[in-house]
Amino acid sequence: MGKKSRSSTSSPSTPNPEERKGFSLMNDDLLQNILSRLPATSFASAAAVSKAWNAACSRILSRPKLSSAVSLNPSPLVALQEVFDKVMSEPIRPHFAIASVGPGFYLKNVLQFMVDKLGSRTPIILSSVSGIIGRDALTHEFREVKWNYGHIGDEVSSNNGIVLTVGFVPGLKVDAIPLLGHNKAPQGSMIDDFVMDIKSYTSSVSGYTSPLAIIMIGDADVDQKPIIEKLDYAMPMETIIVGDERGQFVYRSADVPRNASTSQKHSLDAVALVFARDRDKAHGIGDIEFHFALSNGVSAIGPRLKAVSVKVKASENVTWLTARREGQQEILDGQSMLDDIDNEMENHMEYVELYIGVTRRRNCSVGSDKPRLMTTLTLHGVEGGDEEYLYVDGVGIRTGDCFQFYHSDPKTALPSCRNVSSALRSLKLDWDSKCCLSKRAVVNAIDKKEAFGGFIFSCLGRGESFFGHLNVDSTPFLENFPGVPVAGIFCGGEIGRGYTGLTAHGGKEGSAHCPLHVYSTVYLVMSYASPAEH
């Protein structure tokens, strides 16, 4: 009887016993080295091969990871593919994704592409923005880019560009929670529902009522001030909130019922990407922390004033007002106020953006909570003035509210950026010193805390045209955390609040909270500390 050939006893897809034996003898270090070189999709498939491979994959991804990339390719489809190829070129398990694009992209198509690539259970926020910040997927050059039809400084002629960030955050739970407006329900009740949805989700996954951090995108056509004020009231200062006040966005939640489509009855007013502790965090997983810093870009000018006559044009989202100086009786019209400011600026008012910062004291509550007095500083853009009124954007100003003029000021912004860089440097030194102290102890030693990623939200008025230099807003992060992934956008209004010593705000407003900013840059740094070893 003839000897059977190898091909007759085993198929091409099935390794023979000798091959299986040899493969099983591969040591853990070699296996881990091979798996660590796989792109994310192949890595996910490898993790499903066996328990041993899954364990090796878990060791490779034992720490949190952010992967981010920018593409300015003029073809939206090519740009989208470039950033996905880059961020998914290494092992990562997507726990969330944030993407920001230029107006040349069709949001719904991009969202569907992301869902197909990342899976329907990955929370995603996708927004159209005024510019992007990050490292180029092909050249690895760091870029701060704003859109424009003419090539001026840091602005590019193309409206196509995308920045994509995918995050793996073991020990946390993340989801996108929308604020749905209703044409038959008052906005206040819908905002209350939004706040309670965030608290309910956080409680269900962590046992705490407040999340660690929120990245929020607001709709440009909806007044975000009452929304942010409610969140500021409802969340402890330890909860960091950052984001873009005026965006255009779509989202996908891991919780399917939250993926409500807009209709004639509902509008999508805002969305929050919520980061909460995981009550079921696996043993051996360390702690992720969030750190907030702010570079201010406005300076106060002129005396403090008090609103006298206030008229609201709600349909136009504009307020008309007169005022008097504190301690005086003379009523000032809009032209008088602007003339005073122009004189103080030595006739340079036309070269700056002008705002009024209104100190508001209001009772605030959520649901059936007992109202509590909140003091906030709200900034309103000045639209003009005449011999009757000063005209400012937004509503919510009342007779008796005190305010002061502010103007955009690179001479304030530049040292404020340096202050942020110094604060981040101090944060790193603090981590290093604690690491040294803990390593001297025999018990309860802990690995060094270190940054693994970050986000930047910068005013669209900043950038090279504002500072006269490239990448000024990114420098505080890049100087202190070289090689750490960071992504950002240029905004129409920057959301930023949190209790931290990193804040470098130039204003002195006492206890007044200012969660919505203008001409600022907001920084969110994410750090990780390995679990204590005994």
Domains identified in the chain and CATH numbers: 27-61 (no CATH), 287-297+411-529 (no CATH), 298-408 (2.40.30)
Nearest to 293 by CA among 527, 528, 522, 518: 522
Neighbour-count burial of 41, counting CB atoms closer than 10 A to its CB (0-12 exposed, 13-18 middle, 19+ buried): exposed
CA nearest neighbour of 390 among 311, 303, 298, 304: 311
Half-sphere exposure in the Cβ direction for 187 (13 Å, CA): 12
CB atoms within 10 A of CB 154: 22
CA angle at residue 177 from 527 to 191, to 5 degrees?
Answer: 115
SS3 track for 102-162: CCCCCHHHHHHHHHHHHCCCCCEEEEECCEEEEEECCCCCEEEEEECCCCCCCEECCCCCE
Nearest to 270 by CA among 226, 237, 240: 226
Residue type (1 letter), 373: L
Q: Check: CB of residue 490 under 8 Å from CB of residue 132.
A: yes
Measured CA to CA, the distance from residue 531 to residue 533 in angstroms comes to: 6
The residue behind tokens 């003419």 is 150
Which residue matches tokens 């489809």?
Answer: 77
Q: Which amino acid is at 522?
A: V
The parts of the chain modelled with pLDDT lower than 70 are: 1-26, 149-158, 183-186, 261-265, 434-447, 500-511, 533-534
- Neighbouring C-beta atoms of residue 378, cutoff 10 Å: 23
> Are the beta carbons of 432 and 448 closer than 8 angstroms?
yes
Please tell me what DSSP assigns to residue 253: -
Give pLDDT tens digits for 438-463: 555 544 445 679 999 999 999 999 99
Record the pTM.
0.90
Indicate the SS3 state at residue 100: strand
In degrees rounded to 5, what are phi and psi of residue 433? -65, -40
The reported pLDDT for the residue numbered 369 is 87
Whole-angstrom distance, CA of residue 503 vs CA of residue 513: 12
Q: Beta strand pairing status for 521-529 and 390-393? A: unpaired
